[in-house]
A and B are shown apart, each in its own frame.
Chain A
Amino acid sequence: MARHVVAAVGDIKPGEKKLVTVKGREIGVFNVNGEFFALANRCPHAGGPMCEGYIVPLVAPGKPGEYKLTRNNEFIRCPWHGWEFEIRTGQSWCDPKDLKIRQFKVAVEPGQELVKGPYVAETFQVTVEADYVVIDL
């Protein structure tokens, strides 16, 4: 297990995502309203590159003909078959019991702590002034 610095906090704004590679694994890092989550870039339904999909709100049920958009930026929709997953839990909306995207432990840590090491940051200059998104893997 090592701490991998994958982005500066300011690099991924709320509602945005970033695809990173940690130990050869493709991982999508998401900012959901200020909280960070990390999900494997592989859709558990049929193998699609999950994190290349769209970040979407949930279209909630209403009466027929009524559309309600809720929970903005909380779901990712696979670019292939459109399966929706809750970014926070990795759970599928249609089949929450059986389908879940693999999650990785992610945290925000201040540069001040990180520079003491040890950490892995291949593409970053870690400075004491900023906060960073860190994946443990």
Chain B
Amino acid sequence: MNAPVLEKSLQQRLAIVDCDIHPDQKSPATLAAYMPERWREHAKTFGLRSRQGLVGQLTHPRMMANGRRADSFPPDGSPAGSDLGFMRKQHLDPNGVEVGMLVALGRNGMEEQNQDFATVLARAVNDWQIEEWVKPEPRLRAGIIVTQENPQEAVAEIERCAPNSSFRQVIISPRTTEPLGRRRYWPIFEAAERAGLPIGLHPAGASGGFPSTGSGWPTYYLQEHYSFETGMQGVLASLVFEGVFERFPKLRVCFIESGFTWVPAVCWRMDKHWERMRKEVPHLTRPPSEYVREHFWFATQPIEEPEHPHHLADMIGWIGWDRLVFSTDYPHWDFDDPRYTFKINLTERQRAMIFRENAKALYGLQ
């Protein structure tokens, strides 16, 4: 009886790096404090105009608490993830979060149609992360939100924020107007590489106005959630085949909440076809899988749950034990608890890599 108890308490004591925490604003007014008067007026008069048909709501109703853990709303009823004290009490402290990476979805520059407003929103959300999260809670790190459809402003924002070492990645929407590897986005990659910051890609609620699957709008949220994986397969292939990593050999990319067991199969297929058709992409000097192995990291949540749990270890081995970084997605409904995420026995070394060391190396965390 004693052995498992001991093992569990050891797991709990292992400090973790959580690569996906979603902070939220108490209300739309929260960000107004970080905007010039002219844009405060704009926000009040016009509100947000996101890159989808439905303003003020998600494309698919969530099955639970608007997509949040039902127990994650602070006692005063404010939005889940909007109260640092409650986040500490419910997540950072009990789950041993040594470093938490903020991924500020929702109101930000990624999804706003009005590009001038988007630039202001990105700046506001970046300053808000520092002032209201990172400064009062040094365990947290920010991600630079930029307007990927306006690369010039995105570069300016990266250059403004990067000198502050609390920003540890650049975050853009993976559902871009053109496939992400296209050259219009290269200035962003260049700036991120120059700053030494990885690009974090997290599927967001909106999808640039495009249906989230290749054959149109899905009916159910179940399908929408599954499209995170197929959508990201397209993003990965675009980045590889457009030659992004030949041009930016130091660029690193982290796929967050996008699954990972699909990666080996996609790599096998890309390699097989490259062997036969590589003349179409002469700018690639190596098999596609080698770019993936060298430039991509994958956050674990939502953890894949194969019928026979031990198959998970095989799949991680095919991707690389050094390429998985742990994430919880707090406070969203599909949160992974670090104590119960892996239903297989990891070696102490594997555990340390996935829960901490890989993320520290990727994000240069001290």
Residues in chain A within 8 A of chain B (CB atoms): 46-49, 52-54, 77, 79-82
Q: Does A52 contact B333, Cβ atoms closer than 8 Å? A: no
A44 → B minimal CB distance (Å): 9
Beta-carbon nearest neighbor of A45 in chain B? B340
* A80-B69 contact, Cβ under 8 Å, with A46-B336, A46-B337, A47-B340: yes
A54 to B71, alpha carbons, bound, how many Å? 10
* A80-B339 contact, Cβ under 8 Å, with A49-B71, A53-B70, A54-B70: no
Consensus secondary structure, chain A interface: loop
Beta-carbon nearest neighbor of A78 in chain B? B70
Whether, in the assembled complex, B229 has its beta carbon less than 8 Å from a beta carbon of chain A, the answer is no
Partner of B335, one of A53, A54, A80: A80
A84 → B minimal CB distance (Å): 11
* A47-B70 contact, Cβ under 8 Å, with A82-B63, A82-B64: no
Beta-carbon nearest neighbor of B335 in chain A? A80
A49 proximity list for chain B (CB < 8 A): 71
* A47-B339 contact, Cβ under 8 Å, with A53-B70, A79-B71: yes
Q: Does A82 contact B333, Cβ atoms closer than 8 Å? A: yes
Q: Does B333 contact A81, Cβ atoms closer than 8 Å? A: yes
Whether, in the assembled complex, B115 has its beta carbon less than 8 Å from a beta carbon of chain A, the answer is no
- A53-B70, A79-B64, A81-B335 are known contacts; what are 4 more A-B pairs with Cβ within 8 Å? A49-B71, A52-B71, A79-B71, A81-B333
Q: Does A46 contact B341, Cβ atoms closer than 8 Å? A: yes
Interface size on B, residues (CB 8 A): 14
A53 to B71, alpha carbons, bound, how many Å? 8
B334 proximity list for chain A (CB < 8 A): 80-81
15 A/B residue pairs, CB under 8 Å, sorted by A: A46-B337, A46-B341, A47-B340, A48-B69, A48-B71, A48-B337, A54-B70, A77-B64, A79-B64, A79-B65, A79-B70, A79-B71, A80-B70, A80-B334, A81-B333
B303 → A minimal CB distance (Å): 9
A48 proximity list for chain B (CB < 8 A): 69, 71, 337
B8 → A minimal CB distance (Å): 10
Q: Does A52 contact B70, Cβ atoms closer than 8 Å? A: yes
A72 → B minimal CB distance (Å): 19
A52 proximity list for chain B (CB < 8 A): 70-71
A80 to B303, alpha carbons, bound, how many Å? 14
A66 to B259, alpha carbons, bound, how many Å? 31
Which B residues between 60 and 95 are near A, CB-CB below 8 angstroms?
A: 63-65, 69-71
B64 proximity list for chain A (CB < 8 A): 77, 79, 82
A50 to B33, alpha carbons, bound, how many Å? 39
B336 proximity list for chain A (CB < 8 A): 46
B339 proximity list for chain A (CB < 8 A): 47
Which B residues between 296 and 340 are near A, CB-CB below 8 angstroms?
A: 333-337, 339-340
A54 to B336, alpha carbons, bound, how many Å? 19
A79 proximity list for chain B (CB < 8 A): 64-65, 69-71
B69 proximity list for chain A (CB < 8 A): 48, 79-80
A77 proximity list for chain B (CB < 8 A): 64
Beta-carbon nearest neighbor of B339 in chain A? A47
A53 → B minimal CB distance (Å): 6
Q: Does A80 contact B340, Cβ atoms closer than 8 Å? A: no
Beta-carbon nearest neighbor of B343 in chain A? A46
A94 → B minimal CB distance (Å): 12
Q: Which interface residue of A46, A77, A81, A82 has the most chain B CB atoms within 10 A? A: A46
Q: Does A80 contact B333, Cβ atoms closer than 8 Å? A: yes
Beta-carbon nearest neighbor of B337 in chain A? A47
B222 → A minimal CB distance (Å): 11
Q: Does A46 contact B70, Cβ atoms closer than 8 Å? A: no
Beta-carbon nearest neighbor of A54 in chain B? B70
A136 to B120, alpha carbons, bound, how many Å? 61
A82 proximity list for chain B (CB < 8 A): 63-64, 333
A90 to B334, alpha carbons, bound, how many Å? 21
A92 → B minimal CB distance (Å): 13
Q: Which interface residue of A49, A52, A53, A82 has the most chain B CB atoms within 10 A? A: A82
Which B residues between 197 and 245 are near A, CB-CB below 8 angstroms?
A: none
